[in-house]
Chain A
Amino acid sequence: MSKLVFLVPLFPLIGFLANGLGRRFLSKPAVSIIGCGAILASFVVSLVLFFDVKANGGGTSTLFNFISVDNFSIPFAFQVDQLSSLFLLIITGIGFLIHLYSSAYMHEEEPQHFGRYFAYLNLFVFSMLLLVMGANYVIMFIGWEGVGLCSYLLIGFWFKNTNYNYAAKKAFVMNRIGDLGFLLAVFWLIFRLGTVSYGDVFANVSKLSTADITAVTTLLFIGAMGKSAQIPLYTWLPDAMAGPTPVSALIHAATMVTAGIYMIARSNILYTLAPATQTLVAVTGLATAVFAATIALKQNDIKKVLAYSTVSQLGYMFLGLGAGAYTGAVFHVMTHAFFKALLFLGAGSVIHAMHHEQDIRKMGGLKKYLPITHITFLLACLAIAGIPPFSGFFSKDEILVAAYAKNPLFYYIGVAGALMTAFYMFRLYTLTFLGNFRGTHEQEHHLHESPWQMTFPLIVLAVLSVLGGFVGIPELFAANAHSLEHFLEPVFAGSNAVAEHHHPEASQEWLMLAGSTAAIVIVIVLAVRLYKNYQPKEETSAGLSKALENKWYVDELYDALIVNPLNALAGFLKNVVEKSGIDGIVNGAGRLVGYGSRQLRLLQSGQVGNYILVMVLAIVVFILIWFNDATITRFFSKIF
């Protein structure tokens, strides 16, 4: 097995180099074949690894020694176990589908930019694979930074638009804030334990004090906040929608943003031993889930709705992690990857058909023009809303039940968020696909279903969204049917041994399931009825809905609290401190020398007589000085 492991990231790396270096001479079909083929090859190897892990368990394989100082060393090692093999499948599988989709979605680009796009995308997959395959925190950090870089490059892919560049920079800076936390956590581990390998850290966790563990986990969580867009570092993700839609699907929905969940699930034993951090994670996740859901209620850009929905769903995953339901969180990562990638790709298909129109108020009635997109999008909406037996139902339910066990209040707030999720998703669905077409006549004339490269991934993802939940059937329905939990058991064994599991009574759980499902159905019906005959109105909203449309003014708040004071400080330093302070010293020194020289120059009169006079006077002065010297005095007194 270990012989194959290095192949998984190698293929995307080769694809990146080939497309990146050959983007000027490769034709578009060649670029597509290289880009998609690299990921497909990676997927095949991942499948082999997955079944190997399933049969024989995981293992690590060391490629070379990366850093070695004194008796401290960081090997460049890959760890393929149950958790990472599952992520490998998600990344390469969905990655392949999105590459395929991109080959049609991006066909209008010039060949050079087409090649650049696929090079970035392959580099992203490579970095993401490093992130999940690394056997220690340093390799994970390399991948962590790599995906951040690719995210930046792809958000700003259309670099001629200044706003897109700002969005890219915002994403990068916000991620850097989180990365600092991650980095400090790694240093802390090195300082306390002298190792960063997962195996060694988790085995020696008893050597750490509770304060250490709490600090490390909190710092790691700060890293996760940045990467996985949690309060307060979430504002970059909605802006990241500036990138091409397949990028949003791959990076900002299915894979990169779940890196934080992967990292916490990987470090689960640390979190289980730090209950304070767990509560922090749960509360942050829950707050983000509900907060982002409220914003999504009033957004009118099809991608912005999905972006806030992603932030919200990531919040649920953190809620699961905080409640100790690591399997549930990973399960939700998986199902969310299916249905959110599907939603984004469906949105991409709509945007493609609408000639880059993203405002859902100008859509409507697309059902008959885009039949495949419509059906798959509907399935994804049902999945994310949590209608049984679609995949989202199982994973969300598992998280909410675990939240109930931690604190019933978490459960009720979480269900409120789930109801909002159902509402905004079906508002989006209804405005886009039902009712009458509200766009221009020309747009209507050009409406068409997308080519097979785009519909094929939609169909595959729709099947996964519908069926994906069946790997995690709760105990309630059938005993020992949760195959995912059994598969992941070795990874979370340490935590399960420590943590005590509360499970609500079976009758109560049935009640909770039935109640929330019924409420969700009611909300869906309400949303469809409310927006079916929507007509754009010229009215300004006020009060709460205005605050929601403006995203609770969080961006403005950050501007006022952080960005503007920083800009003012920078302006002050630039205009006052530098101009009059530093420049003043430098220019003053120059001016002083110039002035002094001008004065001294007057001594050089050019008159020979003056020079001689000065010379004679100087000699006289010297003699007078010497005159006081004892020897000289004695000499003179002798001769005179």
Chain B
Amino acid sequence: MPIQYYIYLCLVLFSIGIIGVLTRRNAIIVFMCVELMLNAVNLLLVAFSKMHHAAALTLNPAATTGIEGQLFVFFIMVVAAAEVSVGLAIIVMLYRNTHSVDINFLNRLKN
């Protein structure tokens, strides 16, 4: 499958994520959109890694070149998991205090 398909898919996913973050006011949906962007990047990394590795194998059957991209994906997933746990905790606290998950209520530090 040509790499272009992956790239288009990732672009679409990422753009959906950005638009969601910019337009939605519900904190949980914003959060989900952030995850969507992260996963678009993950997908792209995996796709490039696979392609790179395949190209290296044709020259040398024992090559490991190009698999670092997949390692990054794991990092991102771990960090994203940690982020989710903190972020959701914040949202829970937000809801307890304001009885809402609207991010426009998050401007109380102003003034």
Q: Is the CB of A608 within 8 A of B109?
A: no
* Cross-chain contact A605 with B22 (CB below 8 angstroms): no
Scan A605-618; emit 1 where CB is below 8 A from any B CB, else 0.
11111001100100
Residues on the A chain within 8 Å of B110, using CB: 604-606
Which A-chain residue is minimally distant from B34 (CB atoms)? A612
Number of interface residues, chain A, beta carbon within 8 A: 11
- CB-CB under 8 A from B4, the residues of chain A are 639-640
Contacts of B107 in A (CB 8 A): 605-608
B18 within 8 A of A: yes
Which of A604, A608, A612, A640 has the most chain B CB within a 10 Å cutoff?
A608
B residues near A607, Cβ cutoff 8 Å = 104, 107
| B62 CB, nearest partner CB in chain A, Å | 27
User: Which B2-58 residues have C-beta < 8 A from chain A?
Assistant: 3-4, 7, 18, 21-22, 25
Contact in complex: A606, B109 (CB < 8 Å): yes
Q: How many residues of B contact A (CB 8 A)?
A: 13
A613 to B103, alpha carbons, bound, how many Å? Answer: 14
Which B residues between 44 and 77 are near A, CB-CB below 8 angstroms?
Answer: none
Given known A639-B3, A639-B4, A639-B7, contact A616–B18 (CB-CB < 8 A): yes
Q: How far is the CB of B40 from chain A (nearest CB, A)?
A: 14
> Are B22 and A609 closer than 8 Å at their CB atoms?
yes
B107 vs chain A, min Cβ distance (A): 3
Residues of the B chain whose Cβ atoms lie less than 8 Å from the Cβ of A612: 21-22
Task: Report A582-640 residues with CB < 8 Å from chain B CB.
Answer: 604-609, 612-613, 616, 639-640
Within 8 A of B (CB), among A366-413: none
Distance from B66 Cβ to chain A, minimum over Cβ atoms (Å) = 15
Q: Across the interface, do B22 and A616 meet the contact criterion of CB distance under 8 Å?
A: yes
B106: interface (CB < 8 Å): yes
B contact residues around A606 at 8 Å (CB) = 107, 109-110
Residues of B near any A CB (own CB < 8 A): 3-4, 7, 18, 21-22, 25, 103-104, 106-107, 109-110
Besides the contacts A604-B110, A605-B110, A606-B110, what 13 more A-B pairs have beta carbons closer than 8 Å? A606-B107, A606-B109, A607-B104, A607-B107, A608-B106, A609-B22, A609-B103, A609-B104, A612-B22, A616-B18, A639-B3, A639-B7, A640-B4
Q: List 16 A-B contacts (CB under 8 A).
A: A604-B110, A605-B107, A605-B110, A607-B104, A607-B107, A608-B104, A609-B22, A609-B25, A609-B103, A609-B104, A612-B21, A612-B22, A616-B18, A616-B22, A639-B3, A639-B7
Residues of A bordering B, CB below 8 Å: 604-609, 612-613, 616, 639-640
The 9 closest A-B pairs by CB, nearest first: A606-B107, A606-B110, A608-B103, A612-B21, A613-B22, A608-B106, A616-B18, A607-B107, A612-B22
